[in-house]
Amino acid sequence: MDKDFAPVHLSYIAPCVVQVDAYEILGSVNLKKERAEAAMNGRVMTLEGPKIRKLKVLCRKDRDDTMTI
């Protein structure tokens, strides 16, 4: 794993991609509570614990001129 990248987050919430059947849905993951949520067709799907480990999370490259939040 490359440590030069960090999740783009606000208060531990980061955008992620959740795989549901043949679809990839944009959702959010709470990195502190280890819980992801995505909505499709009026239903909210929730993943918790080890199930979130394989999600794709939006990351950015750490740079010296990046402001720390």
Give pLDDT tens digits for 10-35.
Answer: 899 999 999 988 999 999 999 999 99
**CA 40 – CA 21 distance, rounded (Å):** 12
68 within domain boundaries: no
Write the CB contacts of 19 (distance below 8 Å, at least 6 apart in sequence). Answer: 25
**Domain range holding 24?**
5-60
The torsion angles phi and psi of 15, rounded to 5 degrees, stand at -70, 145
Q: Is residue 35 part of a domain?
A: yes
Residue 65 reports pLDDT greater than 60: yes
> Which residue did the predictor score with more confidence, 24 or 2?
24
Residue 36 covered by a domain? yes
Of 42 and 62, more confident = 42
For residue 69, tell me if it sits in a domain: no
In a domain, 42, yes or no: yes
65, part of any domain: no
- What's the domain count of the chain? 1
Residue type, 37: E
As a whole number of angstroms, the distance between CA 5 and CA 11 comes to 17
